[in-house]
Structure 1
């Protein structure tokens, strides 16, 4: 994010066309177009009206519908990272809203102009509202208020519309190539581009998106495509729901026109992410068991009209206040918009993981950079690339750049018209869809697969798993981020857990807040450009020279270097350590002529390199920089590299005063010997030590009758790695001493007629051969223990007096097969 400081002065109304005594001229449409295109091409960044001069903004208003959105706040609440828990209808916010509104009302009262000055109304639960502005003096006065955060032109079309979706609202009529789908159960297909990401292996290792709620903000759903309506939960997608919302008004300030897709783009995106794995040979979405919440909030894929920006913002605020987990936005614009940015910050702050398309354009303009809102730190930017191994080539109409986080292989090299296969229109039809739109919806589905295995994961943890399973990791490509996600690898990773000293962990750190020291800036004298490098990952921050403290997304300039969420792989600790040390932190202040992340001793200053210890029991660490102390607030997420495990087996039945029994406890997952903790019948803890193969053996002498429960609670390896376990082995000692009662253990081969009778218990270990006829009569129970076998031809009778409510019971087994039973 770029931060800019403005000098604040008193406002007053001036003569039309003048400011502080100077004449002001406005740009005609063509000149303004050229000005904006030059910015887009030279900076590779979206065009932000709010940081432009009054003249440029007024030129934009005069060449559009003259609707200006005003973002306001109490003076102490400028940071969007604070919005997530704000009550925008509180007195502090209402006071700021009233101040701006009063200025507008006073102007129109004095000017006597009859106009619908608030064309979209004023929502008391939003930190912005829209105003019709025709006069330069009104614009200038608004921008002087210290409660105003931004002023953006709402509807401006750059030349002819440069942005488009690769399919957009135009149906793709190319027949599906046979090689572009593969059949899957029960009677569905999978698109080739999903196969390239090992999606089928991901299905086998995940809950297929079950329990995850995916919101798709787009053009809605087709009412004629049954796979996204009545048949949404067919086949292997049973037990899930689809919800349809409408937030788009065709006319400014008019009513919403419902949830139905009148373009086709939203239908295609829903199919990619969550299409059912069912019947009729239609393509399954990546997360085919996830729930869908479809928001119709745009007319097409470009967010370039006032009502589209209003619809997208309202949809985001709505999704933020629900149980939605993931938001997919295959939408965007070449213009930054504060209204939409506020809504995205609110949703991200409320825990929503937001994927946004990096941009899809005509061949003339795909040299532009990553579009809005994918260029925001709060979103995960996704683009499409041609199939094949890295280094990747972006798809024919895709944007790429340093803001991109992940890519999807979605365009054939042999034919650039062949893309991902998804649901289309009319009913049961399938179609190709491409561009960064396809890549974004696909990636949202990938994230849902990962999340469905552990619904407690937060956004940073999901992204961390995706990063670790991407082909460029641990490095990051300048244009394609971490690369493509291998779902087999992503879903083979152990789960995150709390960090402690019991195990050897791979440790991920998420930086959630940075406190920057004050400094001076010899070049610009207003903004310090701090570069922070942690374990080789660099981040470029633009911070007030007075020093600031906030979420890193408030300062991060991701077009220079860095990414958000700010998750960094730290390496591993040793068992017994509740910390990880020697974490290298380097900071310097960039004073070169152009922004970069590499230290230059000639131009840059305040360089410092330290090695820090990160404690599991804390959530902050300090770094002594060259210009002062940096304080970092963090979360740690741990994945066990190896965990000691225990397998228990052995005797489960003994005769009193008979032969001793044994229980084998075999430990794995570490260096032997292992120390094993157990108790018997919830008594005091006891320990035994394994041999150098991991085997430890317990001996049970049957001197007491009854049930014995061996509970194994912990296993510790020789290097001090400890696993808490809950393994139980049960053993029963029979109360009858057959050795003394004359019956013996009833062991050996029986090949004749035998009749055993007792008022107590019979424990049998015999093998009955084909000539045997054996009759057991017992008063209490008959236990057929391991080693009891009946061969073909033998007869076995068993009668227990205590069975059947005291009436006894008879069971006859006549073996008629060669199997031992």
Structure 2
């Protein structure tokens, strides 16, 4: 352990040293590529630097990495680099930029001149909504020039995959992929049956959700869920979405994830869930108040728009980053959507997803993100990305009982906004949800289900007050929570009382 700490410290000092050299070289009119430290760091060395940053600050941002770290990570990520451009940090929307094409042309000229290549072989992707391009870069000097271009907001390795080289999958920020296709018979004490035969999960009563249904069921509100999609085998999230006491609502499904090793591939693999996680999230928020004896969702009369944007919950890899970004812009552009729920993330900031979140937020969407779920091995990690962003509302799960104790696999931290009771004190059972399979049930918990639950409660509030703004809905949620007006340093405003929120 002592040797590992010394190794991490040395690598961090190396990172800071190279960064200082970068600052010194910035004042030079001519840049000599041979002056750069071109020793290629191994993925393990890069990960140790990332780990040190997370342990010290709770976060990792590529903009704080040295040029050597950035270059090494891009080398290990197929040499593909994402560039966010614009005249300022606020200039990230293409429609609002008057000279975006000129900036892109200048950036590409810089790259092709230094790399001695053609634009056709350099430019991989140019986004039509956000000021983002993806390019191939091999020379460390090119990255230096890009970082020092006043019209470049950020430069990041687009396909570096931390968990591929982590000593354990638990270190990937999500405790694994989050996928599963289990079906479990529910314990009778974990639900209550209501008309016309639906099962109400035990934890809904901790938030007075069934009482709130007397005044609001989410009708007229559309929730967008960004996750791994919806099971084609679960009809209550498809053809039977209007089953039982749920009626007059719609469900739409989209896919933005490209399942391909080819970086230039653009064909998605559709909207069907191939993981299981997305099915649980959409069910938690919107499953119908059915007559089939299965668990009901929080906002059982809300509309649903599902995006399959990722293969699993750990956002790693070029196509997952792009898929999530495109889901946010797609939902941002949909005037019917009021609420976005995403129960995926990482502890590495991803620039293109930052832009996507900010875009949707700028369109008035209320965005809920999971604060983090993992094993005790990563309990040192606080709120994860993008839940730590000021544009999002971070949610985590806690254990049943008095006070606030985070659930066994949940994170906590200063950026957390709300909590949901997710774990039974006596049995450790989590929340009953629809299974991936027809007419079957399962237990799922963590900050993921807590997030989808909170998104559902927000839909109840917005349905009751359709003329309200996002700020008014959020304020009502805060004022209806157990810690209000004092915000807890780890659990924010705490548990929301849904019945109070719809008063």
| TM-score using structure 2 length | 0.89
Deviations along 1:74-95, one digit per CA (max 9) or x if unpaired, are 2xx3226xx57x615x542222
Deviations along 1:691-729, one digit per CA (max 9) or x if unpaired, are xxxxxxxxxxxxxxxxxxxxxxxxxxxxxxxxxxxxxxx
SS at match of 1:40: helix
Contact 1:167 1:433 (C-alpha < 8 Å) held by counterparts = no
Aligned to 1:87: 95
Match of 1:199 among 204, 209, 222: 209
Match of 1:150 among 154, 157, 178: 154
Structure 1 residues without counterparts, runs of 5 or longer: 493-821
Q: Does 1:33 align with 2:40?
A: no
Deviations along 1:401-436, one digit per CA (max 9) or x if unpaired, are 0000000001112233x1111111211211111111
Cα deviation, residue 170, structure 1: 1.9
Q: Does 1:295 align with 2:307?
A: yes
Aligned to 2:16: none
SS at match of 1:414: coil
Aligned to 1:424: 435
Match of 1:138 among 133, 139, 142: 142
Greater alpha carbon shift after TM alignment, 483-492 vs 153-162: 153-162
Distance 1:270 1:116 in 2: 40
Match of 2:253 among 232, 244, 248: 244
Contact 1:165 1:437 (C-alpha < 8 Å) held by counterparts = no
1:182-581 equivalent positions in 2, closer than 5 A = 182-206=192-216, 208-251=217-260, 252-254=263-265, 255-322=267-334, 323-390=336-403, 392-416=404-428, 418-492=429-503
1:685-724 equivalent positions in 2, closer than 5 A = none
Q: Does 1:104 align with 2:111?
A: yes
Distance 1:171 1:278 in 2: 21
Cα deviation, residue 193, structure 1: 1.1
Cα deviation, residue 173, structure 1: 4.8
Shift of the 56–238 alpha-carbon distance from structure 1 to 2, 3 Å rule, reads same
CA RMSD of aligned residues (A): 2.2
Aligned to 2:133: 129
Shift of the 488–125 alpha-carbon distance from structure 1 to 2, 3 Å rule, reads closer
Distance 1:92 1:118 in 2: 18
Contact 1:166 1:433 (C-alpha < 8 Å) held by counterparts = no
Contact 1:167 1:265 (C-alpha < 8 Å) held by counterparts = no
1:527-676 equivalent positions in 2, closer than 5 A = none
SS at match of 1:364: helix
SS at match of 1:355: strand
Cα deviation, residue 116, structure 1: 4.5
Distance 1:164 1:173 in 2: 22
Q: Does 1:14 align with 2:32?
A: yes
SS at match of 1:347: helix
Distance 1:12 1:51 in 2: 24
Structure 2 residues without counterparts, runs of 5 or longer: 1-18
Distance 1:73 1:51 in 2: 19
Distance 1:9 1:117 in 2: 28
Shift of the 11–153 alpha-carbon distance from structure 1 to 2, 3 Å rule, reads farther
Q: Does 1:65 align with 2:90?
A: no
SS at match of 2:378: coil
Contact 1:401 1:480 (C-alpha < 8 Å) held by counterparts = yes
Deviations along 1:424-478, one digit per CA (max 9) or x if unpaired, are 1211211111111010000000000000011121111111001111001110100
SS at match of 2:122: coil
SS at match of 2:346: coil
Distance 2:421 2:151 in 1: 45
Distance 1:371 1:79 in 2: 23
Aligned to 1:169: 179
Cα deviation, residue 133, structure 1: 2.2
Distance 2:79 2:190 in 1: 47
Cα deviation, residue 12, structure 1: 5.5
Bigger radius of gyration: 1
Distance 1:330 1:269 in 2: 8
Distance 2:431 2:310 in 1: 23
Shift of the 421–9 alpha-carbon distance from structure 1 to 2, 3 Å rule, reads farther
Aligned to 1:608: none
More helix by share: 2
| TM-score using structure 1 length | 0.55
Cα deviation, residue 377, structure 1: 0.2
SS at match of 2:69: helix
Contact 1:11 1:140 (C-alpha < 8 Å) held by counterparts = no
Q: Does 1:53 align with 2:66?
A: yes
Distance 1:116 1:445 in 2: 46
Contact 2:208 2:498 (C-alpha < 8 Å) held by counterparts = yes
Cα deviation, residue 132, structure 1: 2.1
Distance 2:130 2:480 in 1: 38
Distance 2:459 2:78 in 1: 40
Contact 1:466 1:485 (C-alpha < 8 Å) held by counterparts = yes
Aligned to 1:591: none
Deviations along 1:202-239, one digit per CA (max 9) or x if unpaired, are 11122x11110100000011111000011001111110
Contact 2:366 2:470 (C-alpha < 8 Å) held by counterparts = yes
More strand by share: 1
Contact 1:191 1:283 (C-alpha < 8 Å) held by counterparts = yes
Deviations along 1:219-268, one digit per CA (max 9) or x if unpaired, are 01111100001100111111000001110001233211111100111111
Deviations along 1:152-191, one digit per CA (max 9) or x if unpaired, are 2223214143233688212345432111111011111111
SS at match of 1:196: helix
Deviations along 1:762-813, one digit per CA (max 9) or x if unpaired, are xxxxxxxxxxxxxxxxxxxxxxxxxxxxxxxxxxxxxxxxxxxxxxxxxxxx
Distance 1:9 1:347 in 2: 38
Contact 1:165 1:435 (C-alpha < 8 Å) held by counterparts = no
Shift of the 133–353 alpha-carbon distance from structure 1 to 2, 3 Å rule, reads same
